[in-house]
Amino acid sequence: MVRLGGSFMMNWLKADLSWKLNWKTIYEIVIAFFVLTYGILLIQNSFDAIPDYLTQENMNWIDYALIWFFAIEYSIRFMFAKEKWKFVKSHWFDLISMIPFDAFFRIARLMRLIRLIRLIKMSSVLSAFFRSKEVKFSLIIVAGIVFWGASGVYLIEGRVNSSLQSFVDAIWWAIVTTTTVGYGDISPVTIGGRVIAVILMFTGIGLIGSVTASVATHFIQYLDRTDADDHDNKVRGDLVQLVKEKVSSIHQLNEQEYRQLLLTLELLRTQPSNDLPHEKKE
């Protein structure tokens, strides 16, 4: 029976998976856009040079909009959860991100950081990205080198370089130097600062390429795993549907069809979804 419905099943599966993948891609892009936008607003709002339009009141409105967005998304997932209390206990962080603590206490920045993490968790790609050990290791190495370079140049040139006004400027310089962009808006004027710049340049040439390759490899592997999992789930779902159809007309089955039905039931019962038979690639 598996072979009988295989061709039709796989054709339908490809079309449905393609449609799903398109919507999934759009969803991931939208969430990534939200994460980047909200992250930039948080960084900008944390320092002195704040634009006139980025007032505390406007940031509060953005926070309230996110809270409503989280609440709607959480309510939908809660509504479809089979075990409600287990769902609540396993998603306590989501509940915290929806509480407007910043309206009553002076912890607005902490709550906004929590909401940023909550946004990242909504994206399966981003959350898997930050959970990857390889990516974490690469980011820690890059962050450590940038912080070392920024601290060194700020301590050496903080009082002698007029273009270096704050530690934030030093971080900016370290980042653009490590990535070999080198805008030139900040240039070291001391021997020590220039030595640090050379170290960051040579480090960046090899390190940034390795980090970029690691990140790209992770994304490709994640998308491949996701596609395979979606494919397996669709195969299992279609087999279950075919079994239901056969059971509904079980009195019309001949002996061979009946035995195939029993074998399919045994297959569904004993094997995990990723062990189900797949369509052979030509």
Note whether 67 and 155 are same-domain residues.
Answer: no
Q: Which residue, among 225, 226, 242, 232, has the nearest Cα to 271 in the 3D structure?
A: 232
CA 108/CA 105 separation, integer angstroms: 7
Note whether 207 and 149 are same-domain residues.
Answer: yes
The number of folded domains in the chain is: 3
Residue 159 in this model has a pLDDT that exceeds 80: yes
CA 159 to chain centre: 41
CA 225/CA 274 separation, integer angstroms: 11
- Proportion of the chain above pLDDT 70, given as a percent: 62
Residue 159 lies in a domain: yes
Note whether 37 and 92 are same-domain residues.
Answer: yes
Most confident of 65-79, 140-154, 168-182: 140-154
CA 254/CA 49 separation, integer angstroms: 79
Residue 263 lies in a domain: yes
Axis-axis angle for helices 133-157, 191-248 (nearest 10): 160
Residue 225 lies in a domain: no
Residue 77 lies in a domain: yes
Task: With beta carbons less than 8 A apart as the criterion, state whether 2 and 277 touch.
Answer: yes
Task: With beta carbons less than 8 A apart as the criterion, state whether 145 and 54 touch.
Answer: no
Task: With beta carbons less than 8 A apart as the criterion, state whether 174 and 150 touch.
Answer: yes
* DSSP letter, residue 280: P
**Amino acid found at 68:** W
Residue 162 lies in a domain: yes
Q: Which residue, among 207, 194, 150, 155, has the nearest Cα to 174 in the 3D structure?
A: 150
pLDDT tens-digit profile of 138-153?
A: 778 888 888 999 999 9
**Amino acid found at 142:** V
Helix (H) / strand (E) element for 269: namely helix 255-270
Note whether 22 and 116 are same-domain residues.
Answer: yes
Task: With beta carbons less than 8 A apart as the criterion, state whether 10 and 279 touch.
Answer: yes
Note whether 58 and 85 are same-domain residues.
Answer: yes
- 222 versus 84: which is more confidently predicted? 84
Residue 42 in this model has a pLDDT that exceeds 80: no
CB atoms within 10 A of CB 61: 11
Note whether 238 and 165 are same-domain residues.
Answer: no
Residue 150 lies in a domain: yes
Note whether 23 and 69 are same-domain residues.
Answer: yes
Note whether 64 and 153 are same-domain residues.
Answer: no
Place of tokens 């390889």: 134
Whole-Å CA distances, 57 to 52, 128, 244: 11, 34, 57
Residue 276 in this model has a pLDDT that exceeds 50: no
Average pLDDT on 206-221 reads: 68
pLDDT tens-digit profile of 86-122?
A: 888 887 777 777 777 655 555 666 777 777 777 777 7
Residue 32 lies in a domain: yes
Residue 169 in this model has a pLDDT that exceeds 60: yes
CA 261/CA 267 separation, integer angstroms: 10
Note whether 148 and 108 are same-domain residues.
Answer: no
CA 109/CA 124 separation, integer angstroms: 25
Note whether 18 and 118 are same-domain residues.
Answer: yes
CA 176/CA 200 separation, integer angstroms: 10
Residue 8 lies in a domain: no
Confidence class for position 225, pLDDT limits 50, 70, 90:
low
Choose the weakest-confidence range: 15-24, 51-60, 87-96, 157-166.
15-24
Note whether 248 and 185 are same-domain residues.
Answer: no
Look up the domain containing 158 and give its range.
Answer: 133-219
- Tell me how long the chain is: 282
Note whether 237 and 205 are same-domain residues.
Answer: no
CATH of the domain at 146: 1.10.287.70
